[in-house]
Amino acid sequence: MPVNRNALIRYQTLDNCLRNRRRRWTLDDLMEACSEALYEYEGIAKGVSRRTVQMDLQTMRSEKLGYNAPIVVVEKKYYTYEDSDYSITNIPLTDSDLGKLKEVADILQQFKGFAHFRELSGMVQRLEDKIRTARTQQVSVIDFEKNDNLKGLEHLETVYQAILQQKCLEITYRSFWAKSSQTFVFHAHLLKEYRNRWFVLGKKDGISKEVLLALDRIESLNPSDELYCRDETLDTAGYFDHVVGVTVAAGQAVEEVTLWIDSHNAPYVLTKPIHRSQRVVETRPDGIVIALSVQINFELEREILGFGEGMQVLGPEKLIARMRQRIARLSALYA
């Protein structure tokens, strides 16, 4: 049953009145209290009718809103709660309510790397405890993708604040291929999440081109007094628009990649596109042909290889050649 804002104000006002046993409340008193509340909160000056308050009391007594309020009339004149501890704000949560709260708690947990969500962690834990207490025999029906051992999340808030406040960072970083770590001043511009890993796009001091750092490869991170340089030519909103994943090559052309997908894998690709530019160009008895407008990069190749024999590159020729090389090396591992 949908309830509008004015009705909620009346219900809350009636609840406050009926809980107040220091005063005896007639129907006229309740009408006056509701009228004053609506004027205070909504600026409505026309008042509340006797019939409206009577209907509100009837609704609160009923199961329509789940209140089942124990409203009684004393001496055929004064309204109060039979149970002195009752309030509509203390009604127990339904299974549906608890299910929705559990979903919200799980979603909030996905953002635990940010400080403002860490501040909510106590509330989330209390919420989860309340849910467990109320549903001790229930198990979760949602399993979110998560990696509690993922490194780098401790840097997330610092980088985020550096971007917002336009502050430089001194970073000690070691890539997967470097023999040793390197320390440099970094101008962070954009945070990016891909497959449960976090990256930061920005510029090293003294280097003009943008670089992408993986937060899990950062060894240390501290504020820097260097002057922050914001690249006004950088389109952060569209920087990753033409790639699968996070590898963007400056100056590299966006090309049309054509792929055949067999009929078994076609539904997966249609419901979860490989890239936002994906479009179907042909439907065949044995599958579909799609086209992507993207830069060719490592993540695209890995995505294609992940489909195995269920996907074939039809163009461009250089990507076909690249896939032949990779498949030959893969085949040699099993020779």
Q: Mean of the pLDDT values across residues 245-269?
A: 94
| Helix (H) or strand (E) run with residue 80 in it | strand 78-81
Residue with tokens 């067999």: 262
Whether the per-residue pLDDT at 248 is higher than 90: the answer is: yes
What is the pLDDT at residue 195?
86
pLDDT tens digit sequence for 58-107: 999 988 887 889 999 999 899 999 988 888 877 665 556 556 666 666 66
Whether the per-residue pLDDT at 118 is higher than 80: the answer is: no
What's the Cα-to-Cα distance from 316 to each of 46, 104, 205, 292, rounded to whole Å? 73, 45, 37, 11
3-class DSSP state for residue 128? helix
What is the pLDDT at residue 1?
40
| Helix (H) or strand (E) run with residue 125 in it | helix 121-134
Q: Mean of the pLDDT values across residues 210-223?
A: 93
| Helix (H) or strand (E) run with residue 317 in it | helix 317-333
Q: Which residue has the higher pLDDT, 33 or 118?
A: 33
Contact call for residues 276 and 241 (beta carbons, < 8 A): yes
| Helix (H) or strand (E) run with residue 203 in it | strand 197-204
Q: Mean of the pLDDT values across residues 32-51?
A: 89
How many Cβ atoms sit within 10 Å of the Cβ of residue 53? 23
The fraction of the chain above a pLDDT of 70, given in percent, is 81
Mean pLDDT, all residues of the chain: 85
Band the pLDDT of 115: cuts 50, 70, 90: low
Whether the per-residue pLDDT at 47 is higher than 60: the answer is: yes
Give first-to-last CA distance, the chain, whole Å: 67
Band the pLDDT of 152: cuts 50, 70, 90: confident
Q: Mean of the pLDDT values across residues 38-46?
A: 86
How many Cβ atoms sit within 10 Å of the Cβ of residue 125? 12
CA pair distance 275, 242, nearest whole angstrom: 8
The fraction of the chain above a pLDDT of 90, given in percent, is 58
> Lowest-confidence range among 33-37, 74-78, 94-98, 147-151?
94-98
Contact call for residues 204 and 211 (beta carbons, < 8 A): yes
What is the pLDDT at residue 322?
95
Nearest one of 167, 89, 97, 174 to 135, comparing CA atoms = 97
Domains and CATH numbers, the chain: 5-90 (1.10.10), 95-134 (no CATH), 159-223 (2.30.30), 255-333 (3.30.70)
Nearest one of 298, 313, 325, 310 to 257, comparing CA atoms = 313
Q: Which residue has the higher pLDDT, 108 or 120?
A: 108
Whether the per-residue pLDDT at 328 is higher than 90: the answer is: yes
Q: Which residue has the higher pLDDT, 234 or 167?
A: 167
